[in-house]
Structure 1
Amino acid sequence: MENQSNQLLIEMKGIYKSFFHVKVLENVDFSICSGEVHALMGENGAGKSTLMKILTGIYQKDAGEVFVRGKAVHFKGPKEAEQAGIAVIHQELNIIPHLTVAENMFLGRELRLVKTGILRNKEMKQKTEEYLKRLGIEIDPDIPAGELSVGMQQMIEIAKAISLNAKVIIMDEPTAALTEKEIKTLFTVIRQLKDQGVGIVYISHRMEEIFTICDRITVLRDGQYIGTKLISEVHLDDIVKMMVGRQLGERYPKRNVQIGKERLRVEGLTRKGKFQNLSFEAYEGEIIGVAGLMGAGRTEIVEAIFGINKDGGDIYVDGQKIKVQSPYDAIASGIGFVTEDRKQEGLVLGLSVRENLVLPNLDRISTKSIVNNKIEEAFVDDLVGKLSIKTSGHEQVVKSLSGGNQQKVVIGKWLGINPKILILDEPTRGVDIGAKKEIYHIMNQLTEQGVTIIMVSSELPEILGMSDRIIVVHEGQITAILTQKEADQEKIMYYATGGK
């Protein structure tokens, strides 16, 4: 093993865990050495989060052993894991926006004068600056953390882990909301931490990152340990086969769609302070990719088409000018919108699969404003079957589904309106590789039926793999519209960074 000479920091052996008699982990092994980045991969629902929650004391294992530096441990909670040098940087960052950088850094462990209990603010600010400087970052410790970019907020979390003297840092989807520049900074920091002997558990669905930054990979499937490999000795296809138990073939399914007549035309679209006077068109059966760096205005543009914060411009569907002053107008004109943040904006997490699917479709399943249960059941059955939503039943609460199945529910509720145009904002974010492939197939099926898809994505391989044409946006302006044949990653980045 590549890290044989390095110290074994964590070893988990034969871990078992069940919830309500349902086995979620069965005989799972995992280890991490000092100075290595170890990828933990698997489809959503494979057991990755559960394993890490056992390591950090959030969950208690049913069987198995956990060793920290060779000593058997049994953490009763996260605080004990933290004291043993294990820190977690969650996908949903634990930053409190209205508190300062320094206040966030020392939250829950403030430095105080022993006798009076008065806060040692000056010392906390100095230490905050020191920890951030170790990462090559200079931020005023008095700035409210909410004013910083997500990337910088993440650096505060890493600095916090360093301040805890963490020997192991668990990073859960650390680049999900970062710009390209912030990802490069993060990778530089990860390499620095490696050099200092820190072990990093790296959980991500982005294959390109795994091959760039990781040393080893462990794969779980359906709660079982599939294997651990050196990154230098595996190919993408090997990892996919380990994750899903089969070859997935091409990552992006071939598109054989006949592009039809003009379906959507946008003229002079404007949102004050974000973009102005944008014009483009899209055709029946076409997938238009929208690419650009974070903050370029991609989401704001598709929101305006859906009637959110639109200040000016004309929208035509099938050659007819439509009035779009609200999402209600957009839906009435056959436009659906799968939002970027499925948990906050796309789903009502406490409601069932059935309730979420019928939300925008109540008029279709009602007779004289009364829901027809038979029509509703057939409607939900059809969508669950069409989209292969893995669920224990229509009444299963949506928040208990895997990320991929949650995303299918969001897509499903819009399919119910029989959309002419479907906007997909980051349709595969936080979704495993198997579910991604299923979503791509759904997109292809829709375009075969003549649906026009506008897809915003931060993943350039996805943009290139699925789009017929690509609109590139920089600071609220369209800098290029490229055909699939014209486009490559370098060209898109050139236009995304302001090239003309």
Structure 2
Amino acid sequence: MRGAAINVLECKSVSKWYGETAVLHNVNFDVAQNEIHAIVGENGAGKSTLVKIISGLVPVDVGTIKFEGNDRTFAHIREIQNSGVALIHQEPRLFPDLSVLENVCVDYQVGVKNKRFNWKKAEEETKELLAELGCSFSVHSPVKALSVADQQMVDMVSALRKKLKLLIVDEPTASLTPSEVQRLFATIRKLNASGVAIVFIGHRLEEVLEISTRITVLKDGEVVAVKKTSETTEDELIKLMVGRNIAASTTQSKSVSSQVSLKVSDLESPGFVSGVSFEVKQGEILGIGGLVGAGRSELLETIFGLRKRTAGEVISTTHGSINTVKQAISARVALVPEDRAHNGLFLNRSINENLVITNLNLSSKVGKRNFGKEKVIGQELIEKFRVKLSSATQLVRELSGGNQQKVSLAKWLKQEVEILLIDEPSRGVDVGSKSEIHQILNDAAVAGMSVVMVSSDMRELIELSHRILVMRNGRIAGELSGSNISEEAVLRLASGLATAGRGN
């Protein structure tokens, strides 16, 4: 740490129950003005609940919370926000139909009766903050037109507009590329140097070790360790978090079939995908790398038939041409989207309902549902994919990020899927669940399934992929395989520093 400083935040003996379940138990946590304090732990360890209590979103049951020495245990959320506390959620909390500027200023309070809001000044300030974060999109763009990564930047700008004393960032890098992560980290360090205390929640431990000064480890709602970052390692943190060593991802099968399963030829989707051609073989994991905005997610959506296509072909070698979502599903193609909360799951429906929604053909007859069969299918998938839950009737929104992702995957893989399109498989997922999801993908490939995977996690992309296609501006900038695969090679192609082509 950089010298003595007052504690901006102090939590003492904080406990929280939901019914008879203890989510937090006797948690002690503090943050000094001059530090970036990280909180790590598996999904369900209590991280998000703790920061929601700190920011006033959730009331504390037992314990005290002090902000700059003043008791804020039962303060109203508005009072806490006005004290200089801001929380940036893992999933952006924005109004999709409003503009960037309107979202940034939506909670602005004028303070003087009958004084009109100065939109011109607000626009200038917002533009300056966007430029500081390296964002190129317009303040007048509707938020729904932005990527998840850009929406997180809007959330950040909204927080920066206030007189911050404590900034809490919950998994902010999940959808960012390495260069965007570094730009975000530079902003966080700049804020910290100016006197803003930072609480950083992250699953990517290499990033946690890079950005933090202290680390608190939570497990099953309790603090199991508080470490100076300079005195710990990634391996030690993993063992503290999960109580066991996590093996590296199983090396993918080297015996990829010579049989092509998917052919994409000269694919065009206006403004997103331009002249993309490639093939995928049976048993192959084909990685798609590139910067946010390069067209990676849009490519998967176009292949699946979700996005309008103006030219090109998508052909399953066993089922023929694919032009619509219905044809894609009939050809045994599945899509697991990046934003599972909005596009991959029915959050307000039960776990079992989510699991059987793509499997009704297996449990119904002549259009009549068999709820007994649905229950059997759901339980089979819950056990196979090791979904941690209290009941199959539990709402899926109550699950941790890792378990939500398992449900999003499991609901497709009960079918005999031949081609899996998956976008950011470990976004917002803890190290234990991430390892399990990687094993699921590896096992699927070994069994003969073709996997096309978009990932911004460079380690994940390199460890899982047999080949990597790198996208830039909607096109394939190059292909990497074998010993040519490296983080530097991916970044050079993604940024335009390497010559386009195959086998770079």
Could you tell me the TM-score, scaled by structure 2's length? 0.91
2:485 maps to 487
The CA distance in 1 between the partners of 2:24 and 2:358, in whole Å, is: 37
Kindly state the Cα deviation for residue 328 of structure 1 after the two structures are TM-superposed. Answer: 1.0
Please tell me whether the aligned partners of residues 112 and 120 of structure 1 are also in contact (alpha carbons under 8 angstroms).
no
2:13 maps to 14
Paired amino acid for 2:252:
R
The CA distance in 2 between the partners of 1:129 and 1:364, in whole Å, is: 52
The CA distance in 2 between the partners of 1:134 and 1:349, in whole Å, is: 35
Please tell me whether the aligned partners of residues 357 and 409 of structure 1 are also in contact (alpha carbons under 8 angstroms).
yes
Alignment of structure 1 residues 330-345 onto 2, 5 Å: 330-345=328-343
> Is residue 85 from structure 1 mapped to residue 84 from structure 2 by the alignment?
yes
Kindly state the Cα deviation for residue 268 of structure 1 after the two structures are TM-superposed. Answer: 2.4
Alignment of structure 1 residues 47-126 onto 2, 5 Å: 47-96=46-95, 103-111=102-110, 113-114=112-113, 117-121=114-118, 124-125=121-122
Please tell me whether the aligned partners of residues 125 and 141 of structure 1 are also in contact (alpha carbons under 8 angstroms).
no
1:430 and 1:151, CA in 2 relative to 1: closer, same or farther beyond 3 A?
A: closer
1:346 maps to 344
Kindly state the Cα deviation for residue 364 of structure 1 after the two structures are TM-superposed. Answer: 1.5
SS at match of 1:445: helix
Kindly state the Cα deviation for residue 142 of structure 1 after the two structures are TM-superposed. Answer: 6.9
Kindly state the Cα deviation for residue 33 of structure 1 after the two structures are TM-superposed. Answer: 0.5
Please tell me whether the aligned partners of residues 133 and 153 of structure 2 are also in contact (alpha carbons under 8 angstroms).
no
1:259 maps to 256
Which stretch shows the higher mean deviation, 159-168 or 283-292?
159-168
1:447 and 1:7, CA in 2 relative to 1: closer, same or farther beyond 3 A?
A: same
Deviations 1:188-210 (A, max 9, x none): 22121111121000112122321
Kindly state the Cα deviation for residue 124 of structure 1 after the two structures are TM-superposed. Answer: 4.7
> Is residue 465 from structure 1 mapped to residue 480 from structure 2 by the alignment?
no
Kindly state the Cα deviation for residue 105 of structure 1 after the two structures are TM-superposed. Answer: 4.3
The CA distance in 2 between the partners of 1:197 and 1:5, in whole Å, is: 13
1:355 and 1:188, CA in 2 relative to 1: closer, same or farther beyond 3 A?
A: same
Paired amino acid for 1:168:
L
1:268 to 253, 260, 266: 266
Deviations 1:244-293 (A, max 9, x none): 1111122x222235312222222222223322332211112111111111
The CA distance in 1 between the partners of 2:218 and 2:70, in whole Å, is: 25
Which stretch shows the higher mean deviation, 281-290 or 55-64?
55-64
The CA distance in 1 between the partners of 2:393 and 2:148, in whole Å, is: 35
Alignment of structure 1 residues 313-328 onto 2, 5 Å: 313-317=312-316, 319-320=317-318, 322-328=320-326
The CA distance in 2 between the partners of 1:85 and 1:125, in whole Å, is: 19
Give percent identity, aligned residues only: 37
Paired amino acid for 2:106:
L
1:414 maps to 412
Kindly state the Cα deviation for residue 464 of structure 1 after the two structures are TM-superposed. Answer: 0.3
The CA distance in 1 between the partners of 2:87 and 2:328, in whole Å, is: 41
1:358 to 347, 356, 359: 356
1:112 and 1:149, CA in 2 relative to 1: closer, same or farther beyond 3 A?
A: farther
The CA distance in 2 between the partners of 1:418 and 1:122, in whole Å, is: 55
1:312 maps to 311
> Is residue 24 from structure 1 mapped to residue 27 from structure 2 by the alignment?
no
Kindly state the Cα deviation for residue 383 of structure 1 after the two structures are TM-superposed. Answer: 1.3
The CA distance in 2 between the partners of 1:138 and 1:310, in whole Å, is: 28
1:424 and 1:127, CA in 2 relative to 1: closer, same or farther beyond 3 A?
A: closer
Paired amino acid for 2:118:
N
Deviations 1:161-189 (A, max 9, x none): 45432211111122233344433332222
Which stretch shows the higher mean deviation, 137-146 or 308-317?
137-146
1:22 and 1:491, CA in 2 relative to 1: closer, same or farther beyond 3 A?
A: same
Which stretch shows the higher mean deviation, 2-11 or 460-469?
2-11
SS at match of 2:50: helix
The CA distance in 1 between the partners of 2:136 and 2:213, in whole Å, is: 31
Please tell me whether the aligned partners of residues 35 and 193 of structure 1 are also in contact (alpha carbons under 8 angstroms).
no
Paired amino acid for 2:260:
E
Kindly state the Cα deviation for residue 480 of structure 1 after the two structures are TM-superposed. Answer: 1.6
Paired amino acid for 2:72:
V
1:46 maps to 45
Kindly state the Cα deviation for residue 483 of structure 1 after the two structures are TM-superposed. Answer: 1.3
Could you tell me the TM-score, scaled by structure 1's length? 0.91
Deviations 1:328-373 (A, max 9, x none): 1111111111111111111111111111111122112122222234
Deviations 1:41-63 (A, max 9, x none): 11111111111121122222222
Q: Which runs of 5+ in 1 are unaligned?
A: none
Equivalences, count = 495
Paired amino acid for 1:13:
K
SS at match of 1:258: coil
SS at match of 1:419: coil
RMSD: 2.6
Please tell me whether the aligned partners of residues 131 and 162 of structure 1 are also in contact (alpha carbons under 8 angstroms).
no
Kindly state the Cα deviation for residue 493 of structure 1 after the two structures are TM-superposed. Answer: 0.7
